[in-house]
Amino acid sequence: MITEAAILNVRYGMEQEFENSFRRASKIISSMSGYLSHELQRCIEVRGKYLLLVKWEQLEDHIIGFRQSEEYQEWRELLHHFYEPFPTVEHFETVPNLTGGD
């Protein structure tokens, strides 16, 4: 299991429109092979900043399976014009014993 993580900065004043588009886009990502879960969270301190976390079974499910799919074109059209600057997306893996609670 890996986590795709990105800080998204949405253009000023477009936050509501972005959230509405993301609701549509989330149906796309949720249907992909290897997708496990996602969270989009809104920053309390900085307007227009969001944290996107997507859990995938393995790295390739995101960087090959999703990014090379037809569905990704639809995802891009729904979301990419909201971002300024364009986000850096990175992947993270769990380190044994460094997770707790719940």
d(CA 85, CA 95): 30
Residue 102, CB-side half-sphere exposure with 13 Å CA sphere: 2
If phi > 0 it is left, if psi is from -120 to 50 it is alpha, else beta; for residue 18 that is alpha
CA-CA distance, 61 to 51, in Å (whole number)?
20
Least Å distance, CB 81 to a second copy, is 18
CB of 88 to a second copy, least distance (A): 9
Give the residues lining the site for a second copy (CB under 8 A): 2-3, 5, 19, 22-23, 26, 30, 35-46, 49-51, 53, 55, 59, 90-95, 97-102
Minimum CB separation of residue 68 from a second copy in Å reads 18
Nearer to a second copy, 70 or 102 (CB): 102
